[in-house]
Structure 1
Amino acid sequence: MEILELYLKGITVALKGIPITIGVSLVAVFIGVLLGLIIALQKMSKFKIVRWPANVYVEVFRGTPLIVQALILAYGVPQLLQSNDIPFKWPYLIIPAIIVCGLNSAAYVAEVIRSGLQAVDKGQMEAARSLGMSKGMAMKLIIIPQAFRIILPALGNELITLIKETAVLSYVGVVEILRRGTLWNASSFETFPAYVGVAIVYLLLTIPLSRIVAYAEGRMAQSDRS
């Protein structure tokens, strides 16, 4: 019974980190979608000077680990500014955590949105232009809404991925699920129950979300066939 209580304690401790994990993930996905849409449109531009910054952004954020990006923003940027006599300190470490997760998410979401935009039938744009719509209006009212319907399951998967990736934020002092387990392990020396509890809590979050995404994909596939 004592062993069972240890594992239950590990789960209970990890559960306390859910609000931070979910909060960071949701805000990061929101930032990722907004910024990702801009980057996707830039990457689809016919002008090289517009495409180039977007391509560099995507390559940098997809080519470096999230933990490195978090360390640079949370500790590197303040140190750099302070070394140049610019007083700066993050009031709360959750702020750079949200920013870096949002910026990282945008690099991946941009490619998802771009593929969604390209999946919309080109005849939709031609039909809109024939009705007198400008290209911008057609994108806003017709193309982008259809693209988001196509990529909705992929955005759900991005949220699931972010929930798991927020674990690296424990290394910059954000008290999310993994950090809760690590702190309890440090005080109790119950390493295995602590991290098993963390794993179970992540599963409690990701498995239901995965089922919801799969259900949404199935519903969309049925509607496309009908």
Structure 2
Amino acid sequence: MMIFDHYRSLFISGFGYTIAASLIALVASLVLGTFFALLQLSKKRAWAALGNAYVQFFRNVPLLIITLFFYLAVAKVIKMTGFVAGTVALSLYTSAFIAESVRAGILAIDKGQMEGALANGLSYGQAMSRIVLPQAFKVAIPSLGNQFINLVKNSSILAFVGGLDLMYQGNLVAASSFDTFTSYIIVGLFYLLLTLPLSYGMQYLEERLQESR
């Protein structure tokens, strides 16, 4: 495509920013999601209420609103670029959905696993991290895979705050070349380069885990 040859550097730069934002948000949202899933299951009402409030808030507020809040409001107090604001918003938003996936995975594990671990001298934290959580993640693999794919696609939100991502660069190319159709076709193909391997990889992992049971 002539348009790709002419604007190759912009597309590749945007692709790099999209990969970076997706990887950072993936790790951050997985850590945060697991933490708040554990809070939701806490026997202490205050902690459980905090976990539930966090999950319900970020699940029910549009990602665009969260992103604009960080970019327009928080950035006035803590200096941050559009890339940082978008990545933080993406991490928080996705973590709420991951928390629900992890929580469901934990609840699917027989309570006897925890009771047996505690009876054998492990602390609650040790039992959860060494016995329950590894099994919960296996159960939650299909749901987590969907959330990771959604995260990559949702990274296009960075375009609204000048995040230099793939969609942002695609918008620039479309405006400069006056060839909107081709520009967004190329952007879509780049997203497929990310989501298709991730989709097949998660499917392969799920099948391997089922075979090992």
Output the CA distance in 2 between the equivalents of 1:10 and 1:66.
29
Query: Please, which runs of 5 or more residues in structure 1 have no aligned partner?
Result: 82-87
Q: Given residue 138 of structure 1, which amino acid in structure 2 is its aligned partner?
A: A
Query: Please, which runs of 5 or more residues in structure 2 have no aligned partner?
Result: none
Output the CA distance in 2 between the equivalents of 1:104 and 1:51.
19
Q: Note if 1:161 corresponds to 2:145.
A: no
Q: Note if 1:89 corresponds to 2:79.
A: yes
1:69-126 CA deviation, whole Å, 9 max, x = no partner? 10011112235x5xxxxxx532x32222221111111111111111111122222112
Q: Note if 1:109 corresponds to 2:98.
A: yes
- Higher relative CO (Cα under 8 Å, sequence separation at least 6) belongs to 1
Q: Note if 1:78 corresponds to 2:75.
A: yes
Residue 25 of structure 1: how far off its partner (Å): 1.0
* Local SS of the residue matching 2:153: helix
2:13 is aligned to 16
Match of 2:129 among 133, 136, 140: 140
* Local SS of the residue matching 1:175: coil
Give the greater-gyration-radius structure (CA): 1
1:170-210 CA deviation, whole Å, 9 max, x = no partner? 00000111111100111111111111111111112111211
Residue 11 of structure 1: how far off its partner (Å): 7.4
Q: Given residue 198 of structure 1, which amino acid in structure 2 is its aligned partner?
A: V
Output the CA distance in 1 between the equivalents of 2:3 and 2:162.
25
Q: CA RMSD in A?
A: 1.9
Match of 2:140 among 125, 129, 151: 151
Q: Given residue 28 of structure 2, which amino acid in structure 1 is its aligned partner?
A: I
**1:10/1:196 contact within 8 Å kept:** no
**2:82/2:158 contact within 8 Å kept:** no
Output the CA distance in 2 between the equivalents of 1:217 and 1:10.
39
1:135-165 CA deviation, whole Å, 9 max, x = no partner? 2221122111222233234333322111100
Residue 7 of structure 1: how far off its partner (Å): 5.9
**1:10/1:181 contact within 8 Å kept:** no
**Equivalence map 1:49-68=2 (5 Å):** 49-68=46-65
**1:97/1:174 contact within 8 Å kept:** yes
2:30 is aligned to 33
Output the CA distance in 2 between the equivalents of 1:44 and 1:104.
20
**1:7/1:196 contact within 8 Å kept:** no
- Evaluate the alpha carbon distance shift between residue 179 and residue 45 of structure 1 in structure 2; reply closer, same or farther with a 3 A threshold: same
1:84 is aligned to none
Q: Given residue 2 of structure 2, which amino acid in structure 1 is its aligned partner?
A: E
- Evaluate the alpha carbon distance shift between residue 7 and residue 78 of structure 1 in structure 2; reply closer, same or farther with a 3 A threshold: closer
Higher alpha-carbon deviation: 92-101 or 152-161: 152-161
Q: Note if 1:210 corresponds to 2:207.
A: no
- Evaluate the alpha carbon distance shift between residue 89 and residue 132 of structure 1 in structure 2; reply closer, same or farther with a 3 A threshold: closer
1:126 is aligned to 115
Output the CA distance in 1 between the equivalents of 2:134 and 2:72.
39
**2:105/2:139 contact within 8 Å kept:** yes
Q: Percent identity?
A: 37
TM-score by length of 1: 0.86
